[in-house]
């Protein structure tokens, strides 16, 4: 028996929210494993800087600005990617926001609509667009959250959006399974990124969260790369529709 490959040589990956945090870590990890990468977020300069790092590894990279909650901008992103690379083998729906409403009656229509647009509408729109240019063997990875399974009043809209993303992951795996395209989600616990630090800004709060995990520490963004590589590569070719927890054993 031949051991399966985790390599991404010759593959093209599109990562949203790749200007920083988990998205940047996955974009760089994919490039290091041989992929060419389209780096996208709303901030073109920040994406260009990640693309420069990728080109320095000898891979091709394209930076494209896109607000994933905007239907037409998603189409423009995929057009630009396909014009440059001809196809997309890996899509990572990573861009996300988690605004905290003070209470249910205080939720504004703007907060509700934007949270759903970025975390749920964008991934559905991009999945439909990208799948038209994804060959058999393609992989769609949705970045979900433990909040989808353990919601709280602070995460109410975000948690609902990510629970929706879990459902979308399973439905996507069914629609595209016959074409040899897989869809899985990484259900993340806490990672030390900008969005986490905004939500829990004190060292005491961070230590409390770390103490709730089995490993006893908070992961840096690099800790998502191994799981993302597994799902992106042929090593996981029999896995689809899965919701993989990546949370340091959080309860």
Ligand X SMILES: NC(=O)c1ccc[n+]([C@@H]2O[C@H](COP(=O)([O-])OP(=O)(O)OC[C@H]3O[C@@H](n4cnc5c(N)ncnc54)[C@H](OP(=O)(O)O)[C@@H]3O)[C@@H](O)[C@H]2O)c1
Site residues (vs ligand X, CB under 6 A): 16-23, 41-43, 46, 66-69, 94-98, 118, 143, 145, 188, 190-191, 193-196
Considering the complex, what minimum distance in angstroms separates the CB of residue 195 from ligand X? Answer: 3
Q: For residue 231, give the nearest of 37, 22, 90 by alpha carbon.
A: 90
Considering the complex, what minimum distance in angstroms separates the CB of residue 111 from ligand X? Answer: 13
Considering the complex, what minimum distance in angstroms separates the CB of residue 240 from ligand X? Answer: 20
Specify the residue, 109 or 178, whose C-beta has the smaller distance to ligand X: 109
Specify the residue, 166 or 235, whose C-beta has the smaller distance to ligand X: 166
The catalytically annotated residue of 158, 176, 217, 238 is 158
Q: CA 40, CA 61: separation in Å to the nearest integer? A: 10
Q: CA 61, CA 54: separation in Å to the nearest integer? A: 6
Which DSSP letter does residue 240 get? Answer: -
Cβ atoms of 239 and 231 closer than 8 Å: yes
Long-range contacts of 147-153 (CB under 8 A, 24+ apart): 147/98, 148/187, 149/187, 153/103, 153/104
Give rounded-to-5 percent helix, strand, coil for the chain: 50, 15, 35
Considering the complex, what minimum distance in angstroms separates the CB of residue 94 from ligand X? Answer: 5
Alpha helices, DSSP H, located in 8-121: 21-32, 44-55, 71-85, 109-116
Residues in the chain: 251
Specify the residue, 33 or 144, whose C-beta has the smaller distance to ligand X: 144
Mention every residue, 6+ apart, whose C-beta is less than 8 A from residue 28. Answer: 50, 53, 54, 225
Considering the complex, what minimum distance in angstroms separates the CB of residue 81 from ligand X? Answer: 14
Active site residue 176: no
Q: CA 77, CA 38: separation in Å to the nearest integer? A: 9
Specify the residue, 42 or 170, whose C-beta has the smaller distance to ligand X: 42
Specify the residue, 42 or 234, whose C-beta has the smaller distance to ligand X: 42
Active site residues: 158
């Amino acid at each position: 028996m031949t051991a399966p490959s985790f390599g991404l040589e010759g593959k093209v990956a599109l990562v949203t929210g790749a200007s920083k945090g988990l998205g940047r870590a996955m974009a760089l990890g994919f490039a290091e494993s041989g992929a060419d990468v389209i780096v996208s977020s709303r901030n073109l300069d920040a994406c260009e800087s990640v693309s420069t790092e990728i080109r320095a590894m000898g891979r091709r990279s394209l930076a494209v600005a896109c607000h994933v909650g905007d239907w037409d901008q998603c189409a423009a992103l995929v057009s630009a990617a396909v014009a440059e690379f001809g196809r997309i083998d890996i899509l990572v729906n990573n861009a996300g926001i988690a605004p905290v409403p003070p209470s249910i009656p205080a939720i504004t229509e703007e907060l509700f609509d934007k949270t759903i647009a970025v975390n749920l509408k964008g991934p559905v729109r991009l999945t439909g667009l990208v799948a038209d240019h994804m060959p058999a063997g393609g992989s769609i990875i949705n970045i979900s959250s433990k909040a989808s399974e353990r919601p709280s009043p602070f995460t109410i809209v975000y948690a609902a959006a990510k629970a929706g993303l879990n459902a979308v992951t399973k439905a996507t795996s069914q629609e595209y399974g016959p074409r040899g395209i897989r869809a899985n989600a990484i259900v993340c616990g806490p990672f030390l990124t900008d969005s986490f630090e905004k939500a829990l800004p004190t060292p005491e709060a961070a230590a409390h969260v770390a103490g709730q995990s089995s490993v006893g520490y908070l992961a840096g963004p690099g800790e998502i790369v191994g799981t993302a590589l597994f799902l992106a590569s042929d090593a996981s070719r029999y896995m689809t529709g899965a919701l993989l927890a990546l949370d340091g054993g959080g309860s």
